[in-house]
Amino acid sequence: MTCGSCAARVQAGLIGVAGVATARVELEAARAVVDWKPGQEPAVETLVAALKAVGYAAAVQRMDVAPSTGGSAAEQAWRRAVWIGVPVTLAMMVAEWIFGLGMNRTYHGVALMLALPVQVWVGAGFYRGAWRQLKVGGSNMDTLVSLGSTAAFGFSLWAFLTGMPGHVYFMESSGILTLVSLGHWLEARMSVHAGASLKALLTLAPATARRRTAAVEIEVPVAELQIGDEIVLRPGDRVPVDAVVLEGESAVDEAMLTGEPLPVEKTAAARLYSGTVNTSGRMVARVDATGEATALAHIIAAVQRAQSSRAGIQRLADRISAVFVPVVVLIALGAAAWWGFAFDSASALQSTLGHWLWHAHPPETPLAAAFVMLSAVLIVACPCAMGLATPAALMAGVNAAARQGILIRDAQALEKSGRITTVIFDKTGTLTEGRPVISARLDLSGAESEGPALDGLAASLARPSSHPLSLAVSTLRAALVPLDGWREVRGSGVEARWTNQNVRLGSPVWLRESGVELGGIDPFLAEQAKLGATVLVVSIGSNAIGAYALRDALKSGARDVVTRLQSGGFRVRLLSGDQPAAVTAIAAELGLSAAAATAGVRPEKKAAFLAELQAGGERVAFVGDGLNDGPALAQADLGIAVSRATDVAREAADVVLLRPDLMAVPTALELARQTLRVIHQNLFWAFFYNAAFVPLAAVGLLSPLLSAAAMGLSDVIVIGNALRLARKR
């Protein structure tokens, strides 16, 4: 494969095979990964035959081991072509442009001997590609290069053998093949650079691990580890598989996996992820995922899928490229006929335009002019820039996102991300911590009171309970109070005995029903009700001595995330199943109006809410915690799951945030917009380039050699523009 159009043709051929679910084609690696439907595995021979039918040869590569991360075969082939072609082309340039030997008969013979190896060995790859396409009734970039270089070489050979006086174009035929090969080599090298993040992921997991059996440590290949095995991690070791800490404490650097810059403290029962680095202490861990089940393997698979998938805008470029080649061939034949049969008028137009642009010398004879202009048009119109415009930007954008802890599932997700108008957040667990914390406190016990301190009594009552509200109160730091007869009243609170008095911690309704006087608490209750907080009251006997308001607190930086999204032109909404007062209060903290917050929406109704917005023309992104937001994540134009690396395997969302930092949401959307902008720029320049240069070549203002240089330069510009995304931070 030589360009994006080739990759599209290969993908279409594989998807057309019965039983194939998906086919991901990797242009640079010259590889296709095929997934089939359950129970419908196609025969290997069928897949190979399908590729042969569209003009490509294939061999099976088992996926039992990770692919090689060295230089691609394509890059090596193009490099060899450059090493053959460059010395020959430079020698002929020096002979003709410096020593003026272009019209010398003896030089023509030397030029033929120099150009012939280039035409055979360097041109072989182009000829094979063109022939494969011709056999199946297709055409591609190889077709144009082969026709153009052959026209120049064939005319020159005929002129030399027949003794025709004038210039020959052996330099141009060699230069065409050499410069196009040079362009491909640069493309391959740039693609390697664009895929550096993925290759870094591929090399994260170590090859061996220390397995502990009966207190003996043995170094074994990672492939031999099984779930339940115990592994030993020393300071500086990379974690070989996903595991759970059994012994020891340490800090683990998870930056490459999650984008989190600071090491994460790990103690017993903490999760460890393959590819992360143990920075300090010694740990023993139990293996709980190996091979393709690890978080790192899921990330690698998802990044590969995203890089090799095709966005809608890419399919448009592919369709245009498919009809572009035949059109260019017709234009080239028309230009050749014009110069061959109306040489004087063509020369006159060239001379006129030369006064406004630049002066060019036409060939001496109509026949020579016909072959030269045919070659120039065919070469300058090669559509590889169009084929590269989208995949180059997608690869760079996906890698830039992965480096920042943002996993984009496929090209369609990236394309959709760049067109979002409204971002809707789930509240609990997404914008908030997902657990109640004390937000306000009222102490009526009095400093001179002989009774226990409010915080000490409340913490003592809450400590034995596992209720989320009790857990929040139990974190109070105060001297505990000895209690007797503790019991929990389900749905109401807890009570016990202290110095022969009843002490309680619970809901105001329960305490009031139990005969506790709440007059001093009522203003606090009214104030906190407006904020949507839950209030727990503490009482001794029939007297309330204090109260605590508990709320689900906002995550750090949540308001900054909303502000950044709004400043970026996105409409932001809050959607929750919580009570209206709590949702309205959270919205106010975020800087959102009450109209932008919708409360009391059950999980199964969230999808319908999104569908209503979409019917009104909104392109909606839904940000959820991935636990009960599956329907909404699927309904949204773009589903974003706020999660840790272990949730990469979830298929509900289009984008998964590998770290809990919510700022990754606007980062992902902004990066997607930038990627789409680069794609549009690339497509514009690719189409503009062809629209501008094909007419110039047809009227003789571009020689075949200059056409080849211009075509190669357009590819480099497209790739270079895409690589700007790789530097985004």
Task: Write out the catalytic residue numbers.
Answer: 426
Contact (CB, 8 A) for 656 and 663:
no
Q: d(Cα 508, Cα 494) in Å, to the nearest integer?
A: 12
Ranges of H-type helices in 280-381: 295-308, 312-341, 343-356, 366-380
Amino acid at 361: H
Report phi then psi at 481, rounded to 5: -110, 130
Amino acid at 409: R
Q: Treating both helix axes as pointing N-terminal to C-terminal, what angle do 123-135 and 170-194 enclose, rounded to 10 degrees?
A: 80
Tell me which residue of 139, 227, 122, 230 sits closest to 178, measured CA to CA. 122
To the nearest 10°, the Cα dihedral for 558, 559, 565, 570?
110
Dihedral angle sign, alpha carbons of residues 684, 689, 690, 692 = positive
Phi, psi of 502 (to 5 degrees): -75, 130
For residue 396, give the H/E element and its range. Answer: helix 384-403
According to DSSP, the residues that pair with 278 across neighbouring strands are 252
| Tokens standing for residue 579 | 């009570």
DSSP designation for 517? B
Give the integer Cα–Cα distance in Å for 347 and 592.
Answer: 69
User: Cα separation of 495 and 613, whole Å?
Assistant: 48
CB 134 within 8 A of CB 146: no
Q: How far is Cα 518 from Cα 525, in angstroms, rounded to an integer?
A: 10
**196 in Cβ contact with 728 (< 8 Å):** no
Pairwise CA distance, residues 414 & 675, whole Å: 8
Query: 96 is written with which tokens?
Result: 């003709």
| Under 8 Å between Cβ of 291 and 240 | no
Q: CA nearest 141: which of 193, 106, 175, 180?
A: 180
Helices (H), 537-663: 558-567, 580-590, 603-615, 630-635
Beta strands in 152-263 (DSSP E): 208-213, 216-221, 230-233, 242-247, 250-253
Task: Pull the structure tokens for residue 370.
Answer: 């016909």
Secondary structure class of 265 (helix, strand, coil): strand
Distance (Å, whole) CA 85 – CA 79: 10
